[in-house]
Structure 1
Amino acid sequence: MLQQYHIPVLAKETIDLLQIKPGGIYVDCTFGGGGHSRAILDKLGDTGKLIAFDQDADAKANIPGDARITFLQYNFRHVQKMLRLHKIAEVDGILADLGVSSHQFDEGARGFSTRFADAELDMRMDQRHPTTAADVIKTYGEQELHKIFERYGEVTNSKTLAKTIVQQRQVSSLKTVNDFKHAVASAVKGNPNKYFAQVFQALRIAVNDEIGALEEMLQQIPNILKKGGRAAIITFHSIEDRTVKNFFRYGSFDEPETDSIYGTKSESPFNVITKKPISPSTKELNENPRSRSARLRVAEKK
């Protein structure tokens, strides 16, 4: 089941750079199929601990029978609070693989993929959350939709698409993948598959507040990571990668302005280990084509 669920991306590179200590405490923010967690457990000794987070209830089926792992069904934006509840103040390393799992893409009913015509537009990673992608399409204003497609999907004609949706939802149900694709067909530019992939990415990010959750999690890392502890983050699109890069490099999400008299004022709490992001090898790309856009960045707390 593990292989079908999700193949862990950049697993060897990530585990090597985390420099796992046998007796350490580690956090896997995105348990998913458990591939990265199992690789961490392989490096831990009897006294080591792993805290695994995943907001998707389906991930619970992949928890190994290992006393060293504690699984928490929460979004990783709550990492510090949940660690405190489990009497953990600091950890030796933290990992987050921000990709949508293959399981989520391949389960038609979840509505993540453009491949399942009759699937409802859901896209919730945490099904306890009330807002689906269909709700976003039906209720968000034109300006709000425009910003979502522009920022999160880099859709070339995001303004036209937003206008088309607002017009079409008056006469169409826009409940399923097919409903939506037919309704906005006139707005599609270029390769339809690529276009809808960008549109679906934008909707998914909005539904799950992925950038907001990522920023909250990153801001907590300096407080929960021991000195010399490492954070490894795997991203899958430019918005995530830029967010992680800037936070590791500057300790903020935007590149700070340089003061002409005093120099750059903000200082990062990290030493950046990966000056450039690490990409999958040719071998990994051949074995797992879905890894093609993965980028790994690692930083160490000063």
Structure 2
Amino acid sequence: MNFDNYRRILHLDLDAFFASVEQRDNPSLQGKAIAVGLNSARGVVASASYEARKFGVRSAMPSSVAARLCPNLIFVPGRMDEYKKASAEVFEIFSRYTNLIEQVSIDEAFLDVTDVWRDYGYAMEIAKLIKEDVRREVGLIISAGVSYNKFLAKIASDWRKPDGLCVIHPNAALKFIDRLPVKAIWGVGPVTSQKMEALGIFTGKDLREKDLSFLVEQFGSSGLSYYNFARCIDDRPVRTERIRKQVSAEITLSKDEGNLNKLEDTLSELTDYLMTRLRKNDFLGRSLT
């Protein structure tokens, strides 16, 4: 089978990014269960080290729940400036290998190396070099997935975390997806996976056995994506410019607040901040939630 006409897509994901930066900068935290966030009644875990994840601690979990799951959990205040700095260093490394970079978030990106992989022998070699560069120059570990579309590259990078490297070849893709639980399919969250399981859809193979009309009937417009992903079809390009669809502002109050005037003042501050961001980016709002 000739693979030369297939794209070469990399998905790169910094492992437990915020927590890893804290462990890198503070050796006393290395090898320990830590959570980035405030240990307060309203605190939320922004990132958990892999040592903490063994106890079930996860991002977006209330700090009180995390502390119960892991009594020895160490809470560390976040340092967004340091995370942004580390992210910029990592993305600079990406840019050495290709200009086709789609930033998904501060710690995640897709790279299209279709036009340059031959210079390195294999696309996997580029992934290896990037992993080595990030470890040596930034002091962090990053997982990499390599395949011929974004969906499969993302699946591959998640497969062997942390510090993983996985390649899904075109002739092995369907077999790989067949054994995946549906919750691992891109876009299938907890609620959707429960609904799928109630419909007898437990694996990628089960999903592929459903026809398009059934999936659209059950899941709306997302049904088409599920139909294609189950067949390893994903023609989405790597977009070098992110299209921002929303702008948000939020704050966590330290305690329950019943004073309407104080709440209105807080809302006014958030609105001013939000309007400043909209003007800065020359955006117009269409809806407010």
- Structure 2 length normalisation: TM-score? 0.25
Tell which structure's C-alpha radius of gyration is larger.
2
- TM-score, normalized by length of structure 1? 0.24
